[in-house]
Amino acid sequence: MRNPAVFVPHFHWDREWYEPFQVFRHRLVAALDTVLETAEANPDFRFTVDGQMAAVEDYLEMRPENRDRLVALVTGGQLAIGPWLILLDEFLCSGETIVRNLQMGWAAAAELGGSMPIGYLPDMFGHVAQMPQILARAGIEHAALWRGVPGSVDGHAFRWRAPDGSEVRTEFLFDGYDNGLDVLLVPDQIGRALGEYAEMTADRWGDDPVLAMAGTDHNAPDPRLATWLRRASGDERAITIATLDEYIREHVRDEVSAVVTGELRSHVRGNILPGVLSVRLGLKQRMAVAERTIDHAERLNALWSRRDDSPFLSLAWHKIIESTAHDSVVGSGTDETSDQVEARLAEATHAARAVRDAALAVPAALVPSDACLVANPLPFPRTALVEVDVVAPPSGTVLAATAADGSARPVQLISEAPTVLSDERMDASQLERVLRRIHRRELFGRLIDHYELTPGSLVFHLAEVPASGPFDLLILRREVAAAAAAHPGEWRVLTLEEARATALVPVRVPASGLAGFRVEPSDRTPVRPTTSAPATAAAPATATDRTLSNGLVEVAIAADGTLDMTGTDGTVLRGVGRLVDGGDRGDSYNYAPPAQDVLVSEPTEVTVELLEDGPLRARTRVTRVYEWPVALSSDERDLRDSRTVPTPVETLVEVRVGEPFVRVSTSFLNQSADHRLRFHVPLPEPVTVSASAGQFAVTERGLTAEGGWGEYPIPTFPASSFVSAGAATVLVDHATEYELVADGSAIALTLLRAIGSISVNIHPLRDEPAASEIPAPGAQDLGMRVENRFAVVPSSTGWQGANAVALAEDFRNDVLVARGTAPAGGQLPPDAPGLRVDGADILVSSIRRVEGDERGPGTEVRLAAMSDTGSTARVTGAFTEATTVDLLGRPLSATPVTDGLELALGPWEIRTVVVR
């Protein structure tokens, strides 16, 4: 008997793409209306709703009256929903966001009858290494996917193994998620067509039934599908209609021999469209900001606030997760879609920021208003530099930052503000207009300390914290009215602010904790640390016109504006920061160089400006001017235009006291179209392997990628927090594209990829169009200021020897600063420690408040061992018990705690505990 066949009716729903969200939702409602009607009319009909609850939520928002109908179909087994909230791009968000996506999708499905227990990932542009562990730790044993599977898999299933050893049986949709449609083209010939397809693919199926995925993008199956299949079914070939869950659990064997470990980024059986990593840079940066903001909000809310802000946090998470959709944050949609994603990420950031600031305001209420509070979002103690606005000291006076314990640290003044805010002359009859600017006591963003009223003159003295007594606006109005009447004619109104300055302050903050400080004149001159100081004292940051140093790293600026960096162990990286600009005739999905490309790597002009010479921070600005072609030739897309535009690129080079890395940021106004700009970090010796961190793992990659489908396997790869090769580790603050170039002699980071079309029909590096050839002029980023920031760690010991996991967290997560709101002059409250986590190569992905179980609310901590040897994490804080939970929050085991919690984590293990 020939293989039976199982048809899985479904659709794939891109929530937004070549049309904006609401346009696609209009189609979605009509499609799901059809599905519900078809299922209710035919009890044998089954439908799989694309594995994402967003489609269901979007439908029910428009059709709330159909909720009970939908629930009945789910509970009756005809409709399979979940487990994801949305089908995401796994490389362009954090691992924590992937977990929350699964949690929110699972919970939403539970309210409607329960989730399909399949990790359905049909159309993602590759898959992260830790996805099997994420699924397994949520109790999900199976996955199904298409893109990225290597050529070593010759069947229709394989065991997908995460770096920690977790596995899920994975159904390989080797012909895509629409392989059944060709069989259905002629309803009267389904039997014949199915037989031919089964014969063509027989080596894949073995003794298992043929899986025919009967669906495609944005369309419901034909309501007559079940009738067609019944008619085609016969004794020779049984045909069944099932959900994807039913096919995997009831129709195929669990035992499969093929094993694939780690990430899936092969091009051999499907395009993975790697250019989405670098197109529309702003969306990647906004995603990172939103994720950081909500992470900090949750941590502060859990540790320092009693307010239940879960509705705001849920809203923010929902909008972040919506934005991770594989046609959203990737930037492969129209300009309308991109604008919508940008707005959604901004809204998520705003909601999270409100929670964060409200939580920070609680301890700030205990800090005097002439002092500041610093909150450390990271669970290890650190000394951070913060910028604060202070009263400028008289010439010769030294300022110091005084902590709660009375210790003082020197500060660095980095700028001074003007004291005259306005100097106006007006007729006496206009004085009332000036008074309308005053709101109770506030004027021009400051507070009125006192005023001087003399004939023909009104002088306001403003301060951030008034030293005088109460201020009565009504008395001022009365006095000014009387003076104006007594002295008509011209008046001078002068608004003066106390002399202000921006100070850079070093603050020692406990793990996940709080510290207050006050900047005030010091009664003695602080002694500057020197390079010969004891090991416990950090050497100062210093700079000259062409050098920077802090005793740990040194930078020399070459004549061409590149940087020679020397690390703590003597490792030297020469020529860091070489910029290479080339043409890009590709699209939002794939880079493609013009056939006759022109690479621009040498500046026409270089200037160097010393900005700060220490002792806490040293900064130099290097400005290089390049002549970049304005676009591709209007006559020939394989040529760059002969016209050029001079483009100054500013590179800010910075070292801070105590940091073993060099901070670098680049900025330029983009005036060119159709180009790719990359920042090179040359290596002392060529390498064959790179490693980058992201989504709970550090993944190693070679100089090439596996090809074979019709897409050139360009070896560009993602990095979320750092990329390392040989003696260089680069810390990044958002999802970044990189490549090892020049036969492994340099890391190239993409700073900008500017293109003008969603897809192009004829692409030199991709056979098949990825979408319609729709213009996307916004993806050129013309007229936009393009900014990137990263840090370079020169170290011969690689990323582990350089402690890159911790350095990346330090670099990406600034401390939070708030002005105190208690009466000025009071004592600073003592430093307050929070939750602390110690251990080598430990990533703390989340700290948040949870309602918990019968034990009551608690604080959930998610950790990952970021090494192939595992690690021991020690968690300390104000708690007496700990419960290990799975990734859906279900309790696994409880442990009493007496003196901290010791967690032995296996290699690359993700562990979640709730402490109380």
159-170 per-position pLDDT tens digit: 999 999 999 999
- Using only C-alpha atoms, the chain has a radius of gyration, in whole angstroms, of 31
**Residues 277-302, mean pLDDT to the nearest whole number:** 98
d(CA 185, CA 173): 20
805-833 per-position pLDDT tens digit: 999 999 999 999 999 999 999 999 999 99
pLDDT at 533 over 90: no
**What pLDDT was estimated at residue 208?**
93
**What pLDDT was estimated at residue 854?**
72
Containing 310, the helix (H) or strand (E) segment is: helix 310-323
Which residues have a Cβ under 8 Å from the Cβ of 812 and sit 6 or more positions away?
Answer: 288, 292, 721, 731, 733
pLDDT at 797 over 70: yes
Containing 196, the helix (H) or strand (E) segment is: helix 190-200
**What pLDDT was estimated at residue 878?**
92
Nearest to 26 by CA among 8, 9, 13: 13
- Select, from the ranges 102-111, 190-199, 849-858, the one with the highest average predicted confidence (pLDDT): 102-111
Type of residue numbered 474: L
Look-up of token digits 């005023």: 451
pTM for this predicted structure: 0.94
**Residues 640-649, mean pLDDT to the nearest whole number:** 97
**What pLDDT was estimated at residue 236?**
57
**Residues 892-912, mean pLDDT to the nearest whole number:** 94
pLDDT at 202 over 60: yes
**What pLDDT was estimated at residue 237?**
66
Containing 229, the helix (H) or strand (E) segment is: helix 225-232
**Residues 672-701, mean pLDDT to the nearest whole number:** 98
Tokens standing for residue 807: 């350095």
**What pLDDT was estimated at residue 534?**
33
**What pLDDT was estimated at residue 415?**
86
Average pLDDT of the chain, as a whole number: 95
d(CA 591, CA 580): 15
**Residues 530-535, mean pLDDT to the nearest whole number:** 33
pLDDT at 527 over 50: no
**Residues 714-740, mean pLDDT to the nearest whole number:** 98
336-373 per-position pLDDT tens digit: 999 999 999 999 999 999 999 999 999 999 999 999 99
d(CA 380, CA 388): 23
**What pLDDT was estimated at residue 255?**
86
561-598 per-position pLDDT tens digit: 999 999 999 999 999 999 999 999 999 999 999 999 99
pLDDT at 31 over 70: yes
pLDDT at 709 over 90: no
**Residues 222-250, mean pLDDT to the nearest whole number:** 89
pLDDT at 481 over 90: yes
Neighbouring C-beta atoms of residue 19, cutoff 10 Å: 18
698-708 per-position pLDDT tens digit: 999 999 999 98
d(CA 657, CA 659): 6
Beta bridge partners of 413: 503
365-397 per-position pLDDT tens digit: 999 999 999 999 999 999 999 999 888 888 878
**Dihedral sign for Cα atoms in the order 284, 286, 288, 290:** negative
pLDDT at 688 over 70: yes
**What pLDDT was estimated at residue 536?**
39
Whether omega before 83 lies within 30 degrees of 0, making that bond cis, reads yes
**What pLDDT was estimated at residue 500?**
85
**What pLDDT was estimated at residue 181?**
94
pLDDT at 82 over 80: yes
User: For helices 67-75 and 21-41, what crossing angle results, to 10°?
Assistant: 60
Burial of 774 (0-12, 13-18, 19+ CB in 10 A): middle
